[in-house]
Structure 1
Amino acid sequence: MATLIRPPPVDPSHAPIENLLELTQLADIDPDLFTNTRPLWHPPGARGIYGGAAIAQCLSAAQRTVPKDFTVHSMHCYFVLAGNSEIPLLYHVERVRSGKSFATRTVQARQRGKVIFTTTLSFVKENSGGEKKVEHSTDMPDVPAPVEGQDDLDHGGGSTGPFQSQRIEILNNDSDKPHTKKCRQWIKARGRISPAGGHEAHLSALAYMSDSYFVGTIARVHKLWRYSAVRKDNSKSSIDEEVLKKLLEMDDDSLKRVKFVDKADFQRIQRMRNGEDMSKGAKPEIGMMVSLDHTIYFHNPRIFRADEWMFTEMETPWAGDGRGLVFQKIFSQDGTLIASCVQEGLARLRQDNESKL
């Protein structure tokens, strides 16, 4: 059973991401208790549900417990256990503090009585900073604009996905220093977010999309192989299995036009197509990549639309001991910095005693 209550019909006046993130309030049990209205997405081969869903729905639940003139400015999240897409999620909001200028909420997502995800959020009252303000902001880099119809081959870019994404060539991709590289993409929610959703719907959509390719930055700047087919021991494949299938079906000319396939990826896909033994001269592969925590700072939470193109830039200052850290900046298309994000995740290489492709 993927939901606690039978889902209502999809509302055609809402964007796909609004319907996906819809919550049901369980007011008869507790006014601060919510559950997912619709089934959540489990990426192929992943350990659990897409992490962005838990982030976004916790934010949605918390937003429903604060006054309308309060807006989220930060949320700090921890992924505790993998979420099961076949079991309803319960979101319990704790009203930690409700002050004149700030409000604090903690939200726990639970399945089978266990916490799988927890976050603490801070909200600030509109225009509480006074007439005189300290202000500055980093500039958005000069990058190619998004092009309609050129979305990536993935959950975001698929015709049925809730958001669109277009990756841009990695900055400094030929450098031998991974920390100098920057992974970049355009993202936006598919369709048009309804007026009824208010600014809250745009913030929840942004939170959902902020987890797109985030920790994967570590693999990309090290040019590690991050796709897997079914393994010989029938164990689960990686999150990118479906993408790999599409890449293997492409001819060379089409493959070269895929922006996120670099030279090393291209050569390996050619070898796989030719049926070569991939264990010979193999470069390190990702064995496990899982998000541990996720932080979002919302800078201009009421002046952007998540259904219009937003630019994201990701870089990783450090990786070691099986973990890695990634920073992300998100801009509206006009160059306004709207959010900064930080994520740490597991980044473990497949070991020599593990099965090969």
Structure 2
Amino acid sequence: MTEAARQAALDLAELRSGERAAQGQPVLDRLVALLDLERIEENIFRGVSPAQSPVRVFGGQVAGQALVAAGRTVAPERGVHSLHAYFIRPGDPSVPIVYEVDRIRDGRSFTTRRVVAVQRGKAIFALSASFHQREPGLEHAEPMPEVPGPEELPQRSQLMAEHADKLGVYATAPRPIDIRYVGEPPWVRREHGPSAARSQVWMRADGTLSDDERLHVCVLTYASDMTLLDSILVRHGAYWGFDKVVGASLDHALWFHRPFRADEWFLYDCASPSASGARGLATGRFFARDGTLIATVVQEGLLRILED
């Protein structure tokens, strides 16, 4: 049994005992274990999901694991600078996920990999990632918005605990990422009706990570699927659990601009430029605590508001 599988079994034991999962370093260590894939063959890896997963595998998890699989076939001096992914089928958290890596190209400056995540013989997720040998060049970046610091804001888990009856597993599941809303949380904002305001949260891995740069990139990839689609729902005064919302990530793209640590605070500044045809587009920018723009994300999601 892999370390990730052992941690998943521990999660299951906690769930069955009825105890609320802890936060902090132990939970973060489980996330790191989930990202530590088992190598089956030269270009084939296997991962598992935590027992407290909802009915389908969390998109950030499969994206993070796929990026780990790609990175393990690339020279360590080349860092990932972009990824583009499609969520093809819902993943079953009770079944291991097999990641098949295709070594597309190894060039003088860039390396390209394609990864397909498979369950029961069918693809559930596909990712293309590009790795680049770092080199000097032009430099500029947009400034970070002026927002209150994270120490002044309550933890998301504390706010969610007050509405556990509506949010279900999302309120009680282990939280390896500390999230703090800038302003009112979206389930409160929905009471004021539709809003064009941005969705902004402070995030950080809830503990300490090693100095492995790729681990920090994979943890941010995991976190990037959190709260992003909220920027679409707030435009319509709706939120998961409080309204009859059915949604799923369709595709996901990330660009990494500068080095960072995922266990230090970063601001996730999100907005939605458009929604139509039951699909919404969300964009996000990640800023380090000192205002440095570290990454940009774009995602399209399926969102259906059901009638009574």
Same fold (TM over 0.5): yes
The one of 201, 209, 227 equivalent to 1:185 is 201
Change (3 A) 1:225 1:89: closer
Deviation string 1:317-338 (CA, Å, 9 cap, x unpaired) is: 0011111000000011111111
1:290 aligns with 2:290: no
Could you tell me how far apart the structure 1 residues matched to 2:38 and 2:63 are? 16
Deviation string 1:63-107 (CA, Å, 9 cap, x unpaired) is: 111111111010001000000011010001100000000111000
Partner letter of residue 199 of structure 2? C
1:113 aligns with 2:104: no
Q: Where does residue 321 of structure 1 map in the other structure?
A: 277
Post-superposition offset of 1:160: 3.6
The one of 168, 191, 206 equivalent to 2:220 is 206
The alignment partner of 1:147 has SS state of helix
Deviation string 1:232-266 (CA, Å, 9 cap, x unpaired) is: xxxxxxxxxxxxxxxxxxxxxxxxxxxxxxxxxxx
The structure with more radius of gyration: 1
Q: Where does residue 136 of structure 1 map in the other structure?
A: 140
Post-superposition offset of 1:147: 1.8
The alignment partner of 1:7 has SS state of helix
Q: TM-score, normalised by structure 2?
A: 0.82
The one of 77, 84, 95 equivalent to 2:85 is 77
Post-superposition offset of 1:307: 0.7
Change (3 A) 1:57 1:292: same
Is the contact made by 1:158 and 1:164 (CA closer than 8 Å) also made in structure 2? no
Post-superposition offset of 1:221: 2.4
Could you tell me how far apart the structure 2 residues matched to 1:226 and 1:177 are? 15
Is the contact made by 2:81 and 2:255 (CA closer than 8 Å) also made in structure 1? yes
Change (3 A) 1:346 1:8: closer
The alignment partner of 1:348 has SS state of strand
Change (3 A) 1:134 1:113: same
Could you tell me how far apart the structure 1 residues matched to 2:150 and 2:234 are? 21
Q: Where does residue 132 of structure 2 map in the other structure?
A: 124
Structure 2 residues without counterparts, runs of 5 or longer: 11-24, 161-168
Is the contact made by 2:269 and 2:284 (CA closer than 8 Å) also made in structure 1? yes
Partner letter of residue 314 of structure 1? C
Q: Where does residue 58 of structure 2 map in the other structure?
A: 50
Is the contact made by 2:46 and 2:99 (CA closer than 8 Å) also made in structure 1? yes
Post-superposition offset of 1:17: 2.5
Structure 1 residues without counterparts, runs of 5 or longer: 229-284, 353-357
1:341 aligns with 2:293: no
The alignment partner of 2:240 has SS state of coil
Partner letter of residue 126 of structure 1? R
Partner letter of residue 303 of structure 2? A
Q: TM-score, normalised by structure 1?
A: 0.71
Task: Spell out structure 1 runs of 4+ moving beyond 2 A.
Answer: 3-12, 14-17, 38-44, 153-160, 173-178
The one of 15, 32, 39 equivalent to 2:43 is 32
Is the contact made by 2:193 and 2:237 (CA closer than 8 Å) also made in structure 1? no
Q: What count of residue pairs does the alignment treat as equivalent?
A: 278
The alignment partner of 2:66 has SS state of helix
Please list, as runs of the form range in 1=range in 2, the aligned pairs for 1:305-320 lying within 5 A after superposition. Answer: 305-320=261-276
Partner letter of residue 146 of structure 2? D
Could you tell me how far apart the structure 2 residues matched to 1:351 and 1:321 are? 16
Could you tell me how far apart the structure 1 residues matched to 2:94 and 2:179 are? 27
Q: Where does residue 277 of structure 1 map in the other structure?
A: none
More helix by share: 2
Q: Where does residue 236 of structure 1 map in the other structure?
A: none
Q: Where does residue 35 of structure 2 map in the other structure?
A: 21
Change (3 A) 1:148 1:65: farther
